[in-house]
Chain A
Amino acid sequence: MAQVPVGFYTDTSVCIGCKACQVACHQWNDLPADLAQQPSENSPGRARPLTGNSYDNTGSLSANNWRHVKFIEQFNPERTETAWLMMSDVCKHCVNAPCLEVCPTGAIIRTEFDTVYIQQDVCNGCRDCVGACPFGVIHMAGAENAGKGTAKKCTLCYDRLQHNLTPACAQACPTESIQFGPIDELKKRAEARLQQLQSAGYSKARLYGADETILGGLNSFYLLMDTPETYGLPSNPKLPSRSVLPSSLFSIGSALAVGLAALFSFRVRRVNQLHPEGASGQDAADFDGDA
């Protein structure tokens, strides 16, 4: 039964980088740690080395990290002032989701909550969705204990939603940087917060994905304190299907060229070969090394 569309509004201005969202996500979804070496019968596995990137210890979203807190340190040219941006990244649950669009098995569906969900028992690991996602969200599970061979990403805690529970990350967030609720309500909160920030002088503050300009809207949208590119977000992601028409037209042109080459080589040329007296001056213009 269709429900009110729900999602996340993430206010990066109040994120403190505590990673409670990451921990809660791992705990609720029973996600193993990303190890440098996968455990086996004879080896317990090896911890990943430190990334060396600020307080970031997981590096990126992955098959086991469905939440990832980004740490972006900015300095002025004199290096006397610093700004520290933090953002809890997650699947954007796009209204027009590229992953859902390309999925050839129907494994990726839109749920009754208007979220995007990968059915693990349907996915066959073709990986088309991985390349289609403009946010680098989807990854393939490589470890047996993580459901090897299928695509993984945030489910927006579909199991919790079915029981009227708040997703684990939003529940755990101590600063309400991650807020969960009906999309319309979240947008009103985000607009009010944006006006507050801009009136306080944060001129670069902006909403990302709250309107329909980005993939029809993102059901996990953001309030950013700088440009999307600063956070590693694309300013204008596209639907994969938009590339199909131009690619098809050029391919048809290429096919016509090859077809004409065969026609002239095997038809016109053949007529001249069989009836040399009827051959015209066409040969002179031929691209012919054997003439």
Chain B
Amino acid sequence: MDGRIVAAPEWGVWVILYFFFGGIAAGAYFIGTLIDLVGHERDRPIARLAYYIAFPLVLLCGILLVVDLGRPERFWHMLIQSNTGLPMFKYWSPMSVGTWALLLFGLFTGVSFVGALAEEGRFGLGRFNGPARWLHRGPSLFELAGIAVGFFIAAYTGAVLTATNQPFWSDSPLIGALFLASAASTGIAALLLVMRFARRTPDDSVANLERTDRWAMLLELLLLIAFVVSLGSLAPAFVISIYGLLLIVGTLAIGVIVPLVISWRTHPFGANSTVIAALLALAGGLVLRYAIVMGGQYVSVAGR
């Protein structure tokens, strides 16, 4: 008998969508800044595209989080103590740290977004081209901090789940790592998808991005298997539940293995292979969040 009788926090569609879009934003952003940091000048269009993707999604994430609250008008209580006006920050609470990190991430992505516009001379921002390029040229503190914040946003949502007493969530230390790998693969998938339709990018840059994607998907594949194994005695109950089946079929098979095979050797759909692989990877990322968020709350285990 497991002995745990817990209440579900009833995190549903808004939280799942936040985890998903936040993952894409974080993945796109840290890939963009990594390219800026270690890539070649020819790869810069990918980085700028990443910044165009990240910032609007971060704004959407903020809205999703506020809407999810039981009392949305009090969202600012996460940041400011309502009775003293002092900052509200608890370094030992993943949700508290995550709230501040999301605010910081909004600042980073916002600056990079405006910088990308300036570099491309859009909306009359061309006169800021110099400062914008300075921010993203070579190893700058801005880039290093941006990568760190991007990685944090990608992973902390998993830590929020792990830092509970819910079955499955609290039984595996791998959810944060898994979400980060998924953020990389979905962030790159979003980049590849937009690049396919909206931006001319050198073929060798695209090839390098796809190569990074394959490594990210391989990491996600290994972490998915390790996650299920790490559930220990609860793994069978999870695997035979609808959420376990979704994770295995929807994420592992359709969202990771199939795109990996398509991207690696075969390209069976010709020019559309990249688009199909990207769409499957994105769908797999959404199913991953759904299966883990809902599975931790509504899978029946003995004694629950």
Contact = CB atoms under 8 A, between A and B. Distances in A.
Interface of A: 60-61, 98, 101-107, 121-128, 130-141, 148-151, 228-229, 232-235, 237-238, 240-241, 243-244, 246-251, 253-255, 257-259, 261-267, 269-270, 273-274, 286-290
Nearest to B7: A136
B263 interface: yes
Given A238-B170, A258-B180, A265-B208, A232 B303 contact: yes
A289 B214 contact: yes
Contact of A127 (B1, B9, B218): B9
Contacts of B164: 102, 128, 131-132, 240
Contacts of A60: 5, 7
Interface stretch (B78-86, B126-134, B249-257, B280-288): B78-86
B93 A104 contact: yes
B3 A235 contact: yes
A228 B9 contact: no
Interface in B83-105: 83, 88, 90, 92-96, 99
Contacts of B10: 127, 130, 140
B54 to A, nearest CB: 16
Interface in B26-48: 30-31, 34-35, 38-40, 43
B52 interface: no
Contacts of B160: 128
Contact of B7 (A121, A130, A229, A253): A130
B70 A265 contact: no
Interface of B: 1-11, 30-31, 34-35, 38-40, 43, 68-72, 74-75, 77-78, 81-83, 88, 90, 92-96, 99, 147, 151, 154-155, 158-166, 169-170, 173-178, 180-181, 184, 204, 207-212, 214-216, 218-219, 223, 263-265, 267, 303
B157 to A, nearest CB: 10
A265 B30 contact: no
B163 A247 contact: yes
B207 A290 contact: yes
Contacts of B147: 259
Nearest to A259: B34
Given A287-B215, A288-B211, A134 B88 contact: no
Nearest to B210: A290
22 contacts: A60-B5, A98-B165, A101-B92, A104-B93, A105-B77, A105-B88, A121-B82, A132-B164, A229-B303, A232-B303, A235-B3, A241-B92, A243-B173, A244-B162, A251-B177, A255-B154, A257-B219, A258-B180, A258-B215, A270-B208, A289-B210, A290-B207
Given A104-B99, A262-B212, A270-B43, A135 B5 contact: yes
A230 B204 CA distance: 63
A265 B215 contact: yes
A34 to B, nearest CB: 14
B159 A247 contact: yes
